A and B are shown apart, each in its own frame.
Chain A
Amino acid sequence: MNGLDDGLLDLASVAVLALGVAALWRRDVRALIGLLRAQGVALALVASVEALSAHDVGLGATAVLVLALKAGAVPWVLGRVAARDPGAREGAPLINVPSSLVLAAALVGLAVVTGAPLARLSSGHAAALAPLGLATALVGYLVLVTRRRPLSQIVGLIIIDNGVALVTFLLTSGVPLIIELGGSLDVLLVVVVSATLVGAMRARIGADELDELEELRD
């Protein structure tokens, strides 16, 4: 790998994390979907830089797949759900935005500490970036648990998945293609399933703030 590749890899990986954090900041559901799209592009960039520098055709195919799926299909599906409810905003998250941002900063620190053994095991430049992927996953988890709208929760779920994918690309240049294919397909299906559920809940209950779903309690 040469310096330009390293620089691009740095920039794209940081972009994945920064876009994840931005999802904690924005409230407009459609802005969130836009963030996801940008994150998908950054992720595909990571995969393609790795593929080019390793001359790995399988990884190149994965990069195309990631682009099609995470920058194309997934935001499209979510966008269609969001279009039925224009102007939807995350009203009052469980933790307010400033606190969740500060919490996110702490989580990023935690990820770096946890990820240290990973960076130590490999001498490569890419492996050193792996903690950023862990951090993205943790931030996605924060989005998931603090947001009340189903759609924002799906966004959190996909951010987690993007973080895991980032770790995958950085550490191992991708797992075998068949697993990558299966995993990607599963992500798409989960999105479709959840989107359908959101539609059904809206039709059946008329409410889509999960606050109002409190029938099941221990």
Chain B
Amino acid sequence: MTAYGLSVVQILAVAVGGLLLTGLMAKVRARAEGRVGAPVTQPLREVVKWLGRESPRATGGALMGVVPVVLLVTTALAAAIAPLAGVGTAGAGGADALVVVFLLLTGSLALALGGLATATAFGGMGASRAMTLSALTEPALLVAVAAFAVPGRSMNLATLVRYSLAHPAGVASPSHVLATVALLMVVVAETGRMPVDNPSTHLELTMIHEAMVLEYGGRDYALVSLGGSMRLGLLLGLLATLAVPWGVAPSDSVPALGLGLVLLAVKAGALALGVALVEVRTAKLRLFRVPELLAAGFVLAALAVVVGVVVR
């Protein structure tokens, strides 16, 4: 399969997979709470349904039209270059961790601007909270990925994954374990899951992500929520790839890539299951305690880097 083909497959996988993961997590939560819950495909169906509808826009709505596109494009780009199913993606040479983080950050920034665009109270509040947390999560994300990069001495994700495929024992090293935990904390915060944010509430005191997207409707809303799900899929996929790289196809043969895709789905599904189960058991942190959690993630990531440098 060509590099471009692989990238397209990854984008599609992240888009569909992200929606399915969102549905899966909702389902797991429902079951754990004793409800039947909506089917796993519910988010997918909702997005398809809203895509066919017209978008009502408030004053200042021009920006609201741009935001979903920016969010989608940046996330799709990141999904295209990151080594998820195989390392031979288009632009793998440029798949530096910095680039991926930059793309994700651009998406977050667009969302925050969109939240501010309508000048409603909720949008602004959500944007301000999201940016506050973002200031802590982005560095932590970067440092955590850097910790994975220490053994292979390269921030390029493809090189990094190749290196850890060649050195499977490294997965049990203290640095790797610490970095995994740190990245998990960051992913939970970035995707707006408990205990940082509650995706299923619209309570003004607590919501962060939902407050920013409250004003969207119709096709715009479909794109925004697709973008959000893709971020979830991408981050869980990245976490799975970095923490347990086994299965990522080093070659571009179709069976290997197919296996890589299936394993990616299994790993991301397992992670989603875990995150959902933790969500059921934890209470949401008060907003001003969230920085403590994120700082803990940051320091863990920093520790992972240091330990990686020291322990050889």
A10 touches B303 (CB 8 A): no
| Of A98, A129, A135, the contact of B136 (CB 8 Å cutoff) | A98
B302 and A109 within 8 A (CB): yes
Say whether B311 contacts A10, CB under 8 Å.
yes
Interface status of A163 (Cβ within 8 A of chain B): no
Q: Which residue of B lies closest to A116 (CB)?
A: B310
From A13-21, A84-92, A181-189, A195-203, the one touching the partner chain is A13-21
B310 and A131 form a contact (CB under 8 A): yes
B178 touches A14 (CB 8 A): yes
> B306 within 8 Å of A by Cβ?
yes
Q: Does B256 contact A (CB under 8 A)?
A: no
Q: Which of A1-50 contact B (CB under 8 A)?
A: 7, 10-11, 13-15, 17-18, 21, 25
A112 with B306: CB separation less than 8 A: yes
A98 touches B310 (CB 8 A): no
B23 CB to nearest A CB, Å = 34
When distances are taken between beta carbons in the complex, the residues of chain A under 8 Å from B298 are: 101-102, 105
Asked if A128 is an interface residue, CB under 8 A from chain B, the answer is yes
1/0 per residue, CB under 8 A from B, across A113-152: the answer is 0000001000000001101100100000000000000000
Q: Once the chains bind, are A108 and B302 in contact (CB under 8 Å)?
A: yes
Q: Give Cα A129 to B298, complex, Å.
A: 21
Tally of contact residues, B, Cβ under 8 A: 22
CB of B292 within 8 Å of the partner chain? yes
The distance in angstroms between the C-alpha atoms of A180 and B53, with both chains bound, is 76
B256 to chain A, nearest CB (A): 30
A97 and B296 CA atoms in complex are apart in Å by 9
Within 8 A of B (CB), among A74-110: 97-99, 101-102, 104-105, 108-109
Contact B299 A105 (CB under 8 A): yes
Can you pick out 26 interface pairs between chain A and chain B where the beta carbons lie within 8 Å of each other?
A11-B174, A13-B174, A14-B178, A14-B303, A14-B311, A17-B307, A18-B300, A18-B303, A21-B300, A21-B303, A25-B296, A97-B291, A98-B294, A101-B298, A101-B299, A105-B299, A105-B303, A108-B303, A109-B306, A112-B309, A112-B310, A119-B310, A128-B311, A128-B312, A131-B310, A132-B307
Seen from chain B, the residues whose Cβ lies within 8 Å of a Cβ on chain A are: 136, 172-175, 178, 291-292, 294-296, 298-300, 302-303, 306-307, 309-312
Extra 8 A-B pairs, beta carbons < 8 Å, given A105-B298, A128-B312: A14-B174, A14-B307, A15-B174, A97-B295, A98-B136, A101-B295, A101-B296, A112-B309
A residues in contact (CB < 8 Å) with B? 7, 10-11, 13-15, 17-18, 21, 25, 97-99, 101-102, 104-105, 108-109, 112, 119, 128-129, 131-132, 135
